[in-house]
Structure 1
Amino acid sequence: MSVKITDKAWSSELEKKIIHDWRNNKTYDFDATTDQSNEKYFVIDTPPPYPSGRPWHIGAAAHYAQIDMIARFARLKGLKVIFPIGVDRNGIPVEIHTEKKYKIRMRNTDRKEFLKLCKLTLDETEDEFMGILTSLGLSANFNQKYQTDSPDFRAFTQATFIEMWNRGLVYLGNRPNNYCVDCGTTIADAEIIYSDIETKLVYIKFYFKNSNDSIVIATTRPELLFACQAIIVNPEDERYKKIQGKFLKIPLFEREVKIIPHNSADMNFGSGAVMICSYGDLNDVQLFRELGLTEIRSIDLNGRTTEFAGEFANLKIKEARDKIVDGLTNRGLVEKIEIITHRTPLCERSKTQIEIISLEDYYLKQVDIKSELLERSNSIKFYPEMHRQILVNWINSIAIDWPISRRRFYGTEIPIWYCTKCNSPNLPQPGKYYRPWEEDPPFEKCNKCNNDKFEGEKRIFDTWMDSSITPLYITKFNKNKEIFEKSYPTAIRPQGKDIVRTWLYYTILRCVYLTDQIPWESAWIMGYGVDEKGEKMSKSKGNVIDPLPLINKYGADAFRFWSASETNIGYDFRCSELKIQGAQKFLSKLWNIGRFISNFEVVEENNKPHELNPTDKWILAELSKTTEKCLEGYEELNFFIPANVIREFTWNIFAAHYIEMIKGRAYNTKSDDNRKSALYTIHKCFRTILLLLEPISPFITYELWSKIYGKEEMLSSKKKIPIIEKKYDSFVHLTQSIIKFNSDIWNKKKETISEITNKPLSLKDPIQTEIPTELELFRDDLIVMHNIITE
């Protein structure tokens, strides 16, 4: 069975041949439709990557490599794994990329033509990152790949929306909302990031009605001066107690607004007096509602000031700000201007400052269910537990329902037609993919007034409406009851910590509504890949590392081993080519060990000696300890632990000490029990090393196992999780003594000059020394190993 390995080095070129083997043998294919068992499936709700522009940096590739480690370890435990691969192809990023690529603007392009260009862009980049996934050795269900912009997936999204609509969970509301001028659409709170940005704090004089007296009000949004509807001061602020209830004239615009006492006014910021505009921030929104103020529409959908700005109308925000400040300055109404650092809300995708604009949008209820979601989410096991708090904090912060409609093109259409007579929304039956902006409705009469004329909805869903149903789509919800019952809730959701408040949260919300169950048993949360300085990678910083050249240069196994050995679960990890090179060196060492071991026949369990040699018992004790630590790490899905434990055992104990100690017995021409003991043990150790390493570095372990122990056994899933054997644990305490003794001998030989060659002794040269009493058990092996002469 065993084949002597003649290749002197492990080559990553072999990985391509192995991928071909896996495909031909359908090694990782699993078809639930033909499975007759009643076993629960281990389903991974894999994050569908987004193929807009250059798809990935090194951190993302490392993330998916580790998701594959989850799948491979589950198979090692004997579980039936469904590991789907999806592609997230909806949303703003592809639209922005398409605009840049073709030098067009979405709003000025025919919708059909724009959608065609978006799809073309996605198809081109999808091929590239699917190639990265394949080259990484992902053991996924590539034959069942899904795309979120496919008619089937979009029909599924629409069907779930129709169900929620029929249950009264969706409503149309006109309210102030987050709006990205560059993206041209409403965005949810979860899509906002905050950045500390330098800005001007302008101190403006406001004069009292019919008076030459004034107070100073500081603001970072002078361009919204014309939309001011009140001034608030803290009721405890002694500076303003006498003027509460009086009126001030708005500079430049001469309208009058009332001074209102309110506890939200910060006495220590600016002048302590605050203008309330529609809308500078969320505090303005809350105060408009609380105080019953009338909204003045300040910014339009194109990011320009409205007609209410008078002579400053139809200006971009920055232009309006500069001109209004100039106007105030020229009239002597600016007391001073300070440069401050201001926490500013930005669109997560475009990094543009968020405006708050009143728009009519569809909302999915979420405020009413917050407490229930918090309670239900307690059943999810988090890897690591610390990242549960991200979800808890987000749910607690939710103040409004989720706006789910977007004024964009590339996404799943909202399946509604409006009656032209009564304006009533009419929804179709679920099942088909509908495009109301292009198609006639699948019904003839309005369900309210029997009118037969309709206008189709032009808006699309927020992309998270699609992404949030991935666990339902991959488990055949409402399509195959038998598969769904064996698959749902899924086993695990692996994802990055940056999308806990979006993808993870929205999936919980939607799945609880649709199934009355949490969608997964566990959530595995990874940190960011950062550069060597510890900074998060971004294109703007120019510190993004492309994974493909590194995979091509060092091989996927080296990349994967680096990913595991460098990344402690849940924490950010540094990306370094030097560390990948170090991982490659370990694999080279493993290959050389395999070459050595392939020289010796395999002694199976049923042919081993009744009593093993003490040296063999010692290494089996170390193997047991190593196995236990590795499995503990694997069970916590923290691949940092097994990667480093395996490397330490393999390189610094098994190869450096054990193999050297038993070479004499292994090469002994007499086939006695001592030799059998050595061969049985060395193969048992190496098999276990390969099994423990397989989830992390599957290529080299596959090749070594196939050559030494047979490809048939490798492909027939006979591999099982290694057993922890405690029977030789009493030998573990001798490890440090063995290491010290061997190291001392090696060092002594290096330091001793030969009388014959006048050079330091070689490791093969004889040396006179005594063996410590505690190592007498290993006497024979140590004498042969070091060529010891004893008195």
Structure 2
Amino acid sequence: MTMDKSFDATAAEARISAEWERLGAFAAGANASRAETFTVMIPPPNVTGSLHIGHAFNNTLQDILVRWHRMRGFDTLWQPGQDHAGIATQMVVERRMAERQEPNRREIGRDAFVEKIWAWKQESGDTIINQLKRLGASCDWSRNAFTMSGAPGAPAGEEGNFHDAVIRVFVDLYNKGIIYSGKRLVNWDPHFETAISDLEVENREVPGHMWHFKYPLAGGATYEYVERDEDGRVTLRETRDYISIATTRPETMLGDGAVAVHPSDERYAPIVGQLVEIPVGPKEHRRLIPIITDEYPDPTFGSGAVKITGAHDFNDYGVAQRNGIPLYALLDTKGAMRGDGLSYAESAAIATRAAQGEDVGDVSAVNLVPDDLRGLDRFDARSRVIEQVTAEGLAVTYLHREIEPETGAEHLERRPVVDAKPIMQPFGDRSGVVIEPMLTDQWFVDTARIVGPALDAVRDGRTQILPEQHKKVYFNWLENIEPWTISRQLWWGHQIPVWYGLEKDDAGKLSWRMNMKPNQQFCAETAEAARLQAEEFYGKPVVVVESRTQAAELFLAAFEGKDQPLPIYRDPDVLDTWFSSGLWPIGTLGWPEPTEELKKYFPTDVLVTGFDIIFFWVARMMMMQLEVARDVPFHTVYVHGLVRDEKGAKMSKSKGNVIDPLVLVDDFGADALRFTLTSMAAMGRDPKLGPKHVEVNRNFVTKLWNATRFAEMNGVRGGGDRPDPANTVNRWIIGETARVLMATDEALASYRFNDAATGLYAFVWGKVCDWYVEFAKPLFDGGDAAETRATMGWVLDQCYAMLHPIMPFVTEELWALTGDRTKMLVHGDWPQLGADLIDADADAQMNWVIALIEAVRSARAQMGVPAGAKLDLIVTEADAPARAALTANAPLIERLARVNTPMDGMAGKGMIAVSAQGASFALPIGDVIDVAAETARLTKAVGKADKDADGLRKRLSNPKFAQNAEAEVIEETQAKLAALEDDIARLRAALDQLAAM
């Protein structure tokens, strides 16, 4: 079959993908010829996701490793799957319901809403899987996993036991006391009305304001306020009856529990321990809070005094915890000021008693929002608080002087001090609304109890993290770990397997506080198991009801003495998706059942992931697997960089520099994109990608295709055994093939993907498609034609095989077109070649020939010799090996260097010198170039290069550049300077030669 003139990537990729899938080419264990296994777990993309350039990069690297091991006969599993993505999926489905003008989720209820999500998943949830197939990802798609498989309500086709694994682990950790419930400060998304993780918070710099307010001392007390300079001299001394604070969130003043100053701050020493009034709220119920000391305030920033609102700021929460300050919640789940709880008068009285040191117990019902602000949006409440404090004269002011332009009259007035300044504000990455620190009831993992083995496993090398620099991130997070919030206030996800019922007091009597959540917990894998637990606890019949509302009616009936079963109801929250994805390695292999897959493929071998989720996912998988399965989840974590645009900027929609990998696939083919990403995957570096880079590597695909067409036109076929040729050229290329294979194996084993790609590029393009094809042309017409055809066919087969993990489509196509094959290349044998195939004599001779041809070509180009001009080649000196190589390969040298038959002679006027190892030559060029014009051209080129080099030297010698520039930028600048200096040296050498002519 005659090859087409060019490779049609679009048609070939679809056809080859379909054939791979039809044959089950990627199935676990396919092509296995050895006992060793190789397992990779795909970082599960969100079920709502579509392929972005980060996915393309991550999955290309995984695929290279998997295909390389599969071709080497390993029993290979690349486990695919998707994460159910709680918030993202709920958002997508709710938005679709709104677009269709359907009733919202609260109107249709939880079960109906979850059913809609499953329907959406069946319809649209495989988008990214199909896109990964377009990229050539060779996952075992028959094993595609989902983190909600087997969950209640899952439709046909979504069977599995991942849900069972998640619930089993929760119950086990609960029973060990590692999972517990409690109130803590969390990131709260008012749009979705749920806690979210730090990963889902996007900190943005936005215009902000800092307001300065006075907190009057209680009872009209005063003190002497003294400020001193660095030398201790008094710069301000005055009597004050207040302490001033600054805040960017005035509405949170309503929940203040204290004002804190640093213990070393002498300005406030006289009033530490006294009470101050919060300057907002009804005057008749003006609330008092204490002045305390803590290490947190910075005496040099602002006034040095900090308001402590423990329920609405993470730093303040720490201060409150250390100092026993009550936590007063101000906001409801939608981000509005609370309207529930006790009246303001009752709440203020309780809070003031607490400030005076009285133990007031649980303050969750205390609502310190004044009646006129209750129910207001938080930002509207902010404006009202500012107005009220300012109107009362308790804003810190300055004297503003203004002159009337017409009359010259002077006006003085007091104005509030308000600093306009940029602030960092947290936003929900999906909702886009401002995130609030909120004190809420949540479920937590006591990570301190399970973190030790995860630290030890990396320290002792059972799991290695590459590059080494990322170990610091891993250790830093785990060594300073906080409890992990695992509950989310959503409907889509693994519902927490805890049921609530009435508590018992010390005497064993049932107790219940109206409007308070019962806290008797029954944790079990099923509702029936929870019911049996409850019956044993209460000693009477128990019924499981749907909601807290239904339970409340039955609780009340129980207190009225009605003889009926006691109710329990399930916690409505679901688990954070990081909890379920933390079980990904074992959950996808059938745990908790002792499956054959679990025995065979766990622990896994390599996790390929981005640096941004080392602590969110990698560390959690380490902790979870070591706690649950008592083994590390993977032996190696390879952390790749972030794909940036071609200028090095982070890609973002707002910048308009996002690159769609599928557009690149459409334009240039999947192979070109994959090769480009691989060649940029230098360990510890961020790739800089632009369409032009991919276009260059499409040319590489074309080069390989054209070389194969040349071979076909000369009767070359693949599929044969390795030949044992006599011709030096053929012996040389076999040795070069062995050399590049050993380098490729070493690079892939060390995760130096870029070295593998660039080495193969240099070999295939430079050695095979250029030099060997040119060297072979005359051999096809002589006595060595048969061995040359056999050698070229064998060499091209090795090229297809070695390139296949990186460029699977074009290599599979060429493999099929060039020989009678018994199997597809995806299951082809990886080459097994050693250093014994390198023929030292052939290697030395042909590399000498190449060096001489390149030297002549370089000299011709440097001196502006016309391409068509054929020059004499004067041999001025040559040792025996050089002379032998020259004699044996004279026809090749003459044709490829565009020179006449080499002849012995002396260098003379009008000649330039070139050299090769053990030999010197002269090229007469005086009659074919304009020496004066070339001298002028080269002189100008040297001047420009000198100027550019001086600019780079100045930049590198600038201390600010050295301090502020990223290491990668400094290295690039140094490399540019080194390249320029090499160019300058060559140009000056050429000028010297011209001057001597």
* Aligned position for 2:353: none
**Equivalent of residue 273 in structure 1, options 305, 315, 323:** 305
In structure 2, the CA distance between the partners of 1:446 and 1:542, relative to structure 1 (3 Å rule), is farther
Which residue in the other structure is 2:147 paired with? 148
Q: Deviations over 1:548-600 (max 9, x none)?
A: 23212322111211221223244322232221111111000011111122332
* 1:742 aligns to 2:849 (yes or no): no
- Whether the 8 Å contact between 2:34 and 2:73 is mirrored in structure 1 is no
In structure 1, the partner of 2:963 is none
Q: Does 1:448 align with 2:559?
A: no
Alpha-carbon distance in 2 for matches of 1:62, 1:753: 43
User: How far apart, CA to CA, are the structure 1 residues paired with 2:38 and 2:886?
Assistant: 46
Instruction: Note the C-alpha offset of 1:177.
Output: 2.8
2:522 to 400, 421, 426: 426
Conservation of the 8 A alpha-carbon contact between 1:300 and 1:357: no
What corresponds to 2:194 in structure 1? 185
Residue 396 of structure 1: aligned partner:
479
Tell whether the 8 Å contact from 1:694 to 1:701 is kept in structure 2 after alignment: yes
Matched, 1:88 2:83: yes
Secondary structure, aligned partner of 1:29? coil
Secondary structure of 1:711's counterpart equals coil
Cα RMSD after superposing both structures: 3.1
Match of 1:46 in 2: 42
Of residues 256-265 and 460-469 in structure 1, the stretch that sits farther from structure 2 once superposed is: 256-265
User: Contact 1:694–1:702 at 8 Å: present in 2 too?
Assistant: yes
Q: Which residue of 2 aligns with 1:217?
A: 245
Amino acid at match of 1:173: G
Q: CA 1:482/1:21 → structure 2, altered by over 3 Å: closer, same or farther?
A: closer
Letter in 2 for 1:777: A
1:627 aligns with 2:627: no
Question: Alpha-carbon deviation of 1:364?
Answer: 1.8
Q: Name whichever of 114-123 and 376-385 sits farther off.
A: 114-123
Superposition pairs of residues 483-494 of structure 1, within 5 angstroms: 483-494=597-608
CA contact (8 A) 1:383 1:522 kept: yes
For the pair 1:116 / 2:115, whether they are aligned, the reply is yes
Q: Distance in 2 between matches of 1:688 and 1:80?
A: 22
Cα deviation, residue 491, structure 1? 1.0
- Contact between 1:229 and 1:293, CA under 8 Å: does it hold in 2? yes
How big is the shift at 1:732?
Answer: 5.7
Shift of 1:734: 6.5
Helix, strand or coil at the partner of 1:174: strand
Residue 608 of structure 1 is matched in structure 2 by: 724
The equivalent residue for 2:323 is 291
Structure 1 position 316 matched with structure 2 position 382: no
Over 6 Å off, 4+ runs: 439-442, 733-736, 747-754
Residue matched to 1:789: 901
Larger Rg: 2
Given the superposition, is the C-alpha separation of residues 760 and 723 from structure 1 closer, same or farther in structure 2, using an over 3 Å criterion?
closer
TM-score, normalization by structure 1: 0.89
Q: Which residue of 1 aligns with 2:868?
A: 761
Alignment of 1:565-576 (within 5 A): 565-576=679-690
Match of 1:707 among 817, 827, 834: 817
Distance 1:442 1:730 in 2: 84
Shift of 1:272: 0.4
Q: 1:532 aligns with which of 624, 646, 653?
A: 646
Structure 1 residues 514 and 268: CA distance shift in structure 2, 3 A: same
d(CA) in 2 for partners of 1:230, 1:750: 79
Q: How far apart are residue 76 of structure 1 and its match?
A: 2.9
Match of 1:257 among 275, 289, 296: 289
Unaligned runs of 5+ in 2: 151-159, 221-239, 339-366, 397-416, 505-517, 544-567, 904-997
> Pick from 576, 582, 591: which aligns with 1:462?
576
Distance 1:129 1:483, change over 3 A: closer
Matches within 5 A, 1:542-561: 542-561=656-675
Check conservation: 2:812, 2:825, Cα contact below 8 A. Answer: no
The answer (yes or no) to whether the contact 1:420–1:455 under 8 Å persists in 2 is no
- What amino acid is aligned across from residue 263 of structure 1 in structure 2? E
Which residue of the other structure, out of 162, 165, 170, is the alignment partner of 2:174?
165
Structure 2 CA distance for partners of 1:31 and 1:635, relative to 1, 3 Å: closer
**Structure 1 counterpart of 2:214, from 202, 205, 210:** 205
CA contact (8 A) 1:415 1:427 kept: yes
- Is the CA contact 1:76–1:719 (under 8 Å) kept in the aligned structure 2? yes
Question: How far 1:40 moved relative to its partner?
Answer: 4.3
The structure-2 alpha-carbon separation of the partners of 1:297 and 1:760, relative to structure 1 and needing over 3 Å to count, comes to closer
Tell me how far 1:467 sits from its aligned partner: 0.8
Shift of 1:331: 2.9
Equivalent position SS for 1:171: strand
One-letter amino acid matched to 1:85: P
Native 8 Å contact 2:747 2:755 kept in 1: yes
Report how far residue 129 of structure 1 moved: 1.9
Q: In 2, are the aligned partners of 1:288 and 1:294 still within 8 Å (CA)?
A: yes
Instruction: Report deviation, 1:189.
Output: 4.5
The reply to whether residue 227 of structure 1 matches residue 308 of structure 2 is: no
Residues 1:220 and 1:731: Cα distance change in structure 2 (over 3 Å)? farther
Report the AA paired with residue 112 of structure 1. D
Q: Tell me which amino acid in the other structure corresponds to 1:288.
A: A
In 1, the alpha carbon distance for the partners of 2:807 and 2:853 equals: 30
| Distance in 2, Cα, partners of 1:753 & 1:252 | 84
Note if 1:73 corresponds to 2:68: yes
Q: Distance in 2 between matches of 1:575 and 1:113?
A: 45
**In the alignment, does 2:753 pair up with 1:639?**
yes
SS at match of 2:143: strand
Alpha carbons of 1:66 and 1:250: their partners in 2 closer, same or farther (altered >3 Å)? same
Secondary structure of 1:362 counterpart: strand
For the structure 1 residues 716 and 560, does the alpha-carbon distance in structure 2 shift closer, same or farther, using more than 3 Å as the test?
A: closer
| Deviates further, 199-208 or 113-122 | 113-122
Between the aligned partners of 2:502 and 2:295, the Cα distance in structure 1 is 48
Unpaired segments ≥5 residues, structure 1: none
What is the rounded CA distance, in whole Å, between the counterparts of 2:56 and 2:587 in structure 1?
24
The CA deviation at 1:466 is 1.4
Q: Deviation per CA, 1:272-328: give whole Å up to 9, x if none.
A: 011111334222112212111122112221211224220322222222222212222
Whether the 8 Å contact between 2:522 and 2:534 is mirrored in structure 1 is: no
Structure 2 CA distance for aligned equivalents of residues 447 and 738 of structure 1: 90
Identity over aligned residues, as a percent? 25
Q: How far apart, CA to CA, are the structure 1 residues paired with 2:863 and 2:457?
A: 70
State the SS of the aligned residue for 1:339: strand
Q: Distance in 1 between matches of 2:872 and 2:95?
A: 76
Instruction: Classify 1:263/1:730 alpha carbon distance in 2 versus 1 (closer, same or farther; 3 Å).
Output: farther
Instruction: From the superposition, tell whether residues 540 and 775 of structure 1 become closer, same or farther in structure 2 (CA, over 3 Å).
Output: farther
Counterpart CA distance in 1 for 2:812 and 2:773 is 22
Local SS of the residue matching 2:258: strand
CA contact (8 A) 2:210 2:419 kept: yes
| Residues 257 and 326 in structure 2, CA contact (< 8 A), matched pair in contact too | yes
Shift of 1:760: 5.6
Query: Taking structure 2 as the reference length, what is the TM-score of the superposition?
Result: 0.72
How many residue pairs get aligned? The number is 764
**Counterpart code for 1:235:** P
Q: In the alignment, is the contact (CA less than 8 A) between 1:628 and 1:724 conserved in 2?
A: yes
Q: How far apart are 1:637 and its partner, in Å? A: 2.3
1:486 aligned counterpart, secondary structure: helix
Q: Deviations over 1:50-94 (max 9, x none)?
A: 132x61222222321221112111213321111111111241011
Say if 1:752 and 1:161 are closer, same or farther in 2 by CA, change over 3 A.
Answer: closer
Paired residue type of 1:8:
K
Secondary structure, aligned partner of 1:163: helix
Equivalence map 1:311-390=2 (5 Å): 311-335=372-396, 336-378=417-459, 379-390=462-473
Contact 2:466–2:636 under 8 Å retained in 1: yes
